[in-house]
Chain A
Amino acid sequence: MIEMLAKSGFQLLLLLLVAPLISGIIKTMKARLQTRCGPNVLQPYRDLFKLLRKGMVIPDTASWIFSAAPYIVFVTAALVGLMTPMTATDAPLSLFGGVLAVVYLLALGRFFLALSGLDTGSSFGGLGSSREMTISAIAEPAMMLAIFTVALGANSTNLSEMARSAVSQSWRFLAPSQMLAFAALFIVIIAETGRIPVDNPATHLELTMIHEAMILEYSGPYLALIEWGASIKQLVLMTLLVNTFFPFGLSSDWSVSGLGLGLSFYLLKLLLLACCIVLVETTNAKMRLFRVPELLAVAFILGALALISTFLF
Chain B
Amino acid sequence: MNQTPINGLFLGGLISYAAAGLFGLAAYQRRRATRIVFCLFACLGALLEGIASVAAILDANETLISIPSGVPLLQYTFRLDPVSCYFNLALAVVSLAVSVYSLGYLDGFDVRKPRGIFCFFYSLLLVSLTVVFTANNAFLFLIVWEVMALSAYFLVSFDHERDESRKAGILFFVMSHVGTGALIVGFLLLGTWARSFDFSAFHLIAATLTPIQQGSLFLLFFFGFGVKAGMIPVHIWLPAAHPAAPSNVSALMSAILIKTGIYGIIRIAFDLLGIPPLWCGLLVLTAGTASAILGVLYALIEPDLKRMLAYSTIENAGIILMALGGAMVFRSYGRPTLAAVALVACLFHIFNHAIFKSLLFLSAGAVVHATGSRNLERMGGLIRPMPLTALCFLVGAIAISGLPPLNGFVSEWLTYQALLGGFGSTPSLTRIVFPVAGSLLALTGALAATCFVRAFGIGFLALPRSSQAAHVHEAHPAMLAGMGTLALLCIGLGLGATLWLPILDPLTNQLLGVRMSSNLVVSGGLALSSGSAAGGTVAPAALVGALVLLALLPGVLCAIWWRRGRKIPGPTWDCGLPGLTEYNEYTATAFSKPLRMIFAALFQPRREIQTEFEVSAYYPISVRFESEVEPAFETHLYSPLKDRIMARASRFRTIQAGSIHAYLAYIFITLVVLLLFGVRS
A residues adjacent to B (C-beta < 8 A): 12, 49, 52-65, 70-71, 74-76, 78-79, 82, 93, 95-101, 103-105, 107-108, 110-111, 114-115, 117-127, 129-131, 133-134, 136-145, 148, 151-152, 155-158, 161, 216-217, 220-221, 225, 289-290, 293, 300, 303-304, 307-308, 311
The reply to whether A95 and B594 form a contact with Cβ atoms under 8 Å apart is no
The reply to whether B591 and A130 form a contact with Cβ atoms under 8 Å apart is yes
The reply to whether A307 and B435 form a contact with Cβ atoms under 8 Å apart is yes
Q: Which residues of A contact B551 (CB under 8 A)?
A: 71, 75
The reply to whether B449 and A75 form a contact with Cβ atoms under 8 Å apart is no
The reply to whether A97 and B571 form a contact with Cβ atoms under 8 Å apart is no
Task: Map CB proximity to A onto B447-466 as digits: 1 under 8 Å, 0 otherwise.
Answer: 10110011011100111000
User: Which among B463, B557, B574 is the interface contact of A52 at CB below 8 angstroms?
Assistant: B557
The reply to whether A118 and B436 form a contact with Cβ atoms under 8 Å apart is no
Given contacts A158-B536, A290-B598, contact A221 B558 (CB under 8 A): yes
The reply to whether B535 and A55 form a contact with Cβ atoms under 8 Å apart is no
The reply to whether B403 and A98 form a contact with Cβ atoms under 8 Å apart is no
The reply to whether A157 and B594 form a contact with Cβ atoms under 8 Å apart is no
Given contacts A58-B570, A108-B404, contact A96 B558 (CB under 8 A): no
Q: Which residues of A contact B398 (CB under 8 A)?
A: 108, 111
B55 within 8 A of A: no
Given contacts A129-B457, A137-B450, A141-B442, contact A155 B534 (CB under 8 A): yes
Q: Which residues of A contact B594 (CB under 8 A)?
A: 130-131, 134, 289-290
Which residue of chain B lies nearest to A152 when distances are taken between CB atoms in the complex?
A: B423
Within 8 A of A (CB), among B100-145: none
Bound-state CA distance A289–B596 (Å) is 13
Given contacts A156-B534, A311-B431, contact A123 B568 (CB under 8 A): no
B573 within 8 A of A: yes
Chain B interface helix/strand/loop/mixed: helix
Within 8 A of A (CB), among B487-544: 523, 526-527, 530, 534-539, 542-543
Given contacts A52-B561, A311-B428, contact A158 B403 (CB under 8 A): no
Cβ distance A143 to chain B, nearest Cβ, rounded Å:
7
The reply to whether B567 and A137 form a contact with Cβ atoms under 8 Å apart is no
Bound-state CA distance A158–B423 (Å) is 17
B303 within 8 A of A: no
The reply to whether B598 and A95 form a contact with Cβ atoms under 8 Å apart is no
Q: Which residues of B contact A130 (CB under 8 A)?
A: 454, 586, 590-594
The reply to whether A105 and B420 form a contact with Cβ atoms under 8 Å apart is no
Bound-state CA distance A161–B536 (Å) is 8
Cβ distance B430 to chain A, nearest Cβ, rounded Å:
12
The reply to whether A49 and B546 form a contact with Cβ atoms under 8 Å apart is no
Q: Which residues of B contact A105 (CB under 8 A)?
A: 404, 543
16 contacts between A and B (CB under 8 A): A52-B558, A56-B568, A57-B568, A58-B569, A63-B461, A71-B551, A79-B547, A95-B526, A98-B536, A107-B449, A111-B398, A118-B457, A129-B453, A134-B598, A158-B536, A221-B557
Which residue of chain B lies nearest to A304 when distances are taken between CB atoms in the complex?
A: B436
Which residue of chain B lies nearest to A139 when distances are taken between CB atoms in the complex?
A: B446
The reply to whether B534 and A96 form a contact with Cβ atoms under 8 Å apart is no
B335 within 8 A of A: no
The reply to whether B424 and A155 form a contact with Cβ atoms under 8 Å apart is yes
User: Which among A49, A82, A121, A141 is the interface contact of B439 at CB below 8 angstroms?
Assistant: A141
The reply to whether A74 and B554 form a contact with Cβ atoms under 8 Å apart is yes
Bound-state CA distance A62–B438 (Å) is 37
Q: Which residues of A contact B431 (CB under 8 A)?
A: 311
Which residue of chain B lies nearest to A52 when distances are taken between CB atoms in the complex?
A: B561
Bound-state CA distance A61–B447 (Å) is 27
Q: Which residues of B contact A79 (CB under 8 A)?
A: 543, 546-547, 550
Interface size on B, residues (CB 8 A): 86
B402 within 8 A of A: yes
B213 within 8 A of A: no
Bound-state CA distance A33–B542 (Å) is 45
B413 within 8 A of A: yes
Q: Which residues of A contact B463 (CB under 8 A)?
A: 61, 121
User: Which among A103, A104, A217, A304 is the interface contact of B572 at CB below 8 angstroms?
Assistant: A217
Within 8 A of A (CB), among B320-363: none
Given contacts A95-B523, A118-B461, A130-B594, contact A56 B567 (CB under 8 A): yes
The reply to whether A161 and B534 form a contact with Cβ atoms under 8 Å apart is yes
Bound-state CA distance A127–B591 (Å) is 7
The reply to whether B568 and A55 form a contact with Cβ atoms under 8 Å apart is yes
Cβ distance A133 to chain B, nearest Cβ, rounded Å:
4
B22 within 8 A of A: no
User: Which among A111, A161, A300 is the interface contact of B403 at CB below 8 angstroms?
Assistant: A111
User: Which among B381, B534, B586 is the interface contact of A127 at CB below 8 angstroms?
Assistant: B586
Q: Which residues of B contact A65 (CB under 8 A)?
A: 383, 461
Given contacts A122-B584, A143-B442, contact A95 B539 (CB under 8 A): yes
Within 8 A of A (CB), among B582-604: 582, 584-587, 590-595, 597-598
B432 within 8 A of A: yes
Bound-state CA distance A111–B453 (Å) is 7
User: Which among B413, B456, B593 is the interface contact of A101 at CB below 8 angstroms?
Assistant: B413
Bound-state CA distance A64–B456 (Å) is 14
Bound-state CA distance A156–B529 (Å) is 10
B401 within 8 A of A: yes
The reply to whether B462 and A61 form a contact with Cβ atoms under 8 Å apart is yes
The reply to whether B420 and A293 form a contact with Cβ atoms under 8 Å apart is no
Cβ distance B405 to chain A, nearest Cβ, rounded Å:
9
Q: Which residues of B contact A104 (CB under 8 A)?
A: 402-404, 409, 413, 445
